Amino acid sequence: MKPAFNPEPPFAHGQTPRTAVLLCNLGTPDAPTVPAVRRYLAEFLGDHRVVEIPRLVWMAILHGIILRVRPAKSAAKYATIWTAEGSPLKVWTDKQAQALQNVFSANGEAVSVRYAMRYGNPSIASQLDALKAEGFTRILVVPAYPQYSGTTTASVFDAVYHWGLRSRVLPEFRFINHYHDHPAYIQALAERVRTHWATHGQPERLVMSFHGVPERTLHLGDPYHCECYKTARLLGEALGLSKTQYMVTFQSRFGKAKWLEPYTEPTLIALAQQGVKRVDLICPGFTSDCLETLEEISQEAQEAYLHAGGEVFHYIPCLNDSATWVQGLYELSKTHMGGWPMQAPDAQPLATSRREALTLGAKN
């Protein structure tokens, strides 16, 4: 069955093109409660990009086991990081979008910046609906994932394509696939680390922990693993570190399948047992602090390292809304919007009805 098209606003001939940036992050529950987490996990883990298991088998496992057990555990974890403003990931993504908007405005460019979540609210579809209703004709989609993966970046694109199935008149889209090696991104990461070291001194080892994915994705051609290592190499070079002074690990393993190695927490435990007294850890693949950085790393991983004999553990925060990173987002966006109009829209379109359009065409 073909999807039914949504009702379209009247087409306006001569309408001035309008440009927008849609910053897309992974998502978050609406609240640190069991029902909210269950809804979020059902959407997140129900995405075939995230879990590549035959759908009928996986749906039985997801709804029969996981969604009965995991929401309560996850809600308790979310409660430890929740702020008065809400979910840290949503708060930081919102602040990034606002800060990026301010840069465009300060440069006299009529570009509107919004943010959306792949899972949860505000959804990608709802933001695209709003942008289209406001007359935006060109939209740059910027995933909050520096390293490309089919499990994350491609899923954002899927959501945009799915929205397009319901629309007769589509905006012009452009997508940023990755920016794992972009100089502005590497510079922002390096500045984050240097700022931390200026206050706390340098550790014996810098651990760069990236979100894990099943090892199978690497063998199927996903470039994520390679892009993580390139980011790490470039960051190490920017900081002037030798290859023995930093290391790459992968966190957030889920299920029994083999994921990308080495795993973060076991690596930290091994470092402590080897006599490494101080470790600093940064998560370059996360541009906003979230459950995986604030709870899994700053709480659980730190406890594991210290319990194993380590003495000092520092978590270096994500880029969040740092000025260097916001400027980097601006440079990325400008590069990918090359040739798109950024002037203020006209107050009135040249033609606002079919009759006016026909009249205008006859005169021309």
Annotated binding site for Fe(2+): 211, 292
Q: Give dist(CA 178, CA 201) in Å, integer.
A: 32
Which residues make up each annotated binding site?
A: 211, 292
Collapse the DSSP code of 38 into the 3-class scheme (helix H, G, I; strand E, B; otherwise coil) and give the result: helix
* Sequence letter at residue 325: W
Q: Helices marked H in the chain — which ranges? A: 34-45, 55-61, 67-81, 88-106, 124-133, 153-164, 183-200, 215-219, 224-238, 264-273, 291-294, 302-307, 323-336, 354-363
DSSP label at 295? Answer: T
Residue pair 119/43 in contact (Cβ under 8 Å)? The answer is yes
Residue 293's nearest CA partner among 140, 7, 77 is 77
Pick from 26, 22, 344, 345: nearest CA to 174? 22
- 18-to-105, 111, 116, 167, 172 alpha-carbon distances in Å: 14, 7, 19, 18, 10
- The 3-state DSSP class for residue 42 equals helix
Give the CA radius of gyration of the chain.
Answer: 23
